[in-house]
Every structure is written in structure tokens, then in C-alpha cells.
Amino acid sequence: MELFAYLDPGSASALLAAVLAGIAGAGAAIRTYGAKIKEKLFFWKKDEPAAATPAASAAAPSDSSDDKPAEK
């Protein structure tokens, strides 16, 4: 039987939360800056309509569209 009585029950969770924040933060950064890098790598496609996407994501740094609060 596992006993948690002596432990701060949040210690493992806090570690996991820190790791997950790191992963999610990196993911968000990749989504934001990845778009910018892609824009630079494929600079010749700049004038095509697809190039509108990076501009939109740059306007909302580190946040993708489905991160936004749901409209009520």
C-alpha cells in the first residue's frame, strides 16, 4: 500500500508541471517563430496568399488560434 501522508503531494506534480510548461512553451515558440523561419526559408513564395498565415500568427505571439477563450 502506498502512503502519501509524509509527502508534499504536489512535489511530483510541480516537477511535471514545470516539464510540461517547458514543452508547451517550446511548442508555442516553434509555432510562432517556425512560421517566421518558414517565411524566410521560402521567401520566394512571399507574394502568394499562403504567406498571410505567418503574419496572422505573429500578431498573436505564442498563442495558436484554438488557445483563445471560447466565445460565449
Partner 1 sequence: MANAEPGSFRDRDSRVVITDDAILRALSPEGAGDWDALAASPLLEDLVNRGDLIPTKEVDLAVLNGSTDLLPSGVTRVLEHQRVPFISYPYEWTFSMLQDAALLQLDLGIAAVDQGLMLKDATPYNVQYQGANPIFIDVGSFETIPEGLPWVGYRQFCMLYLYPLLFQAHKDIPFHPWMRGSIDGIQPIDAIKVFSLRDRLRRGVFLHTSLHARLDRRANKSGPGDADAPKKERTVKPEAVKAHMASMRRLVAKLKWKTGETSWSGYRAHNTYSDDDDKAKQKFVAEVCAADKPALTWDMGCNDGAYSRLAAENSEKVVAFDFDHATVESLYRSLKAEGNTQILPLVGNLADPSPGLGWRGLERRTLSDRGTPDLMMALALIHHVSISANIPIAEFLDWVQDLGSNLLIEFPKRTDPMVRALLANKQEGANADFDLDNFEAELKKRFNIEKREELPSGDRVLYLARPLS
Cβ atoms of residues 57 and 34 within 8 Å = no
- Pick the closer one to partner 1 by CB: 2 or 47: 2
- Pick the closer one to partner 1 by CB: 22 or 34: 22
Distance of CA 54 to CAs 2, 16, 34, Å?
50, 31, 9
Contact flag: residue 30 with partner 1 (CB under 8 A): no
- Kindly write out the interface string for residues 33-52 of this chain, putting x where it contacts partner 1 by CB under 8 A and - elsewhere: --------------------
- Kindly write out the interface string for residues 51-70 of this chain, putting x where it contacts partner 1 by CB under 8 A and - elsewhere: -----------xxx-xx-xx
* 48: Cβ contacts below 8 Å, ≥ 6 apart: none
